[in-house]
């Protein structure tokens, strides 16, 4: 339920948060819909960064990956894949063989936090 809560926070609270770290849980496979949520909030691509992560053996992997890829393929570039904030606002970490468990969550959280605040 944490990833869906993260997506709901993204939808309803872009005024309050900049960084989002959904893991292995989808909200909508419609990238255009997700882009519309950003526009309706009065924000733009420069106002947030999403670090998404999932394991290939996670039961939620295929739907989650479909959502993230659909977001990254929105033509108006509301979401732009990048490995840093200067070049975009969407990242997708895929771990081969990882499942929906605490080990995966711990690693994704560690990497996500380093990603958000590593200025090297």
pLDDT digits (tens, 9 = 90+) for 73-94: 999 999 999 988 889 999 999 9
Which strand (E) or helix (H) includes residue 93?
strand 90-95
Q: What CATH number does residue 53 fall under?
A: 3.40.50.1820
78 with 72: CB under 8 angstroms? no
32 with 74: CB under 8 angstroms? yes
The answer to the question of residue 93 being in a domain is yes
The answer to the question of residue 34 being in a domain is no
The DSSP bridge partners found for residue 78 are none
Q: How many residues are given for the chain? A: 120
Q: What is the pLDDT of residues 25-57, one digit of tens each?
A: 999 999 999 999 999 999 999 999 999 999 999
Tell me which residue of 22, 35, 39, 28 sits closest to 72, measured CA to CA. 35
Domain extent at residue 55: 2-27+45-117
Residue 109 contacts by C-beta under 8 Å, 6 or more apart in sequence? Answer: 21, 23
Domain count for the chain? 1
Question: What pLDDT, on a 0 to 100 scale, did the predictor assign at position 16?
Answer: 97
């Amino acid at each position: 339920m944490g990833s869906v809560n993260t997506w709901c926070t993204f939808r309803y609270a872009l005024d309050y948060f900049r960084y989002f770290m959904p893991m292995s849980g989808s909200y909508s496979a419609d990238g255009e819909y997700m882009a519309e949520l950003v526009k309706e909030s009065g924000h733009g691509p420069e106002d947030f960064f999403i670090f998404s992560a999932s394991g290939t053996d996670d039961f939620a992997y295929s739907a989650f990956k479909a959502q993230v890829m659909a977001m990254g393929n929105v033509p108006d570039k509301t979401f732009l894949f990048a490995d840093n904030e200067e070049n975009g606002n969407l990242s997708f970490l895929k771990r081969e063989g990882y499942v929906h468990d605490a080990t995966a969550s711990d690693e994704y959280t560690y990497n996500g936090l380093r990603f958000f605040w590593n200025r090297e």
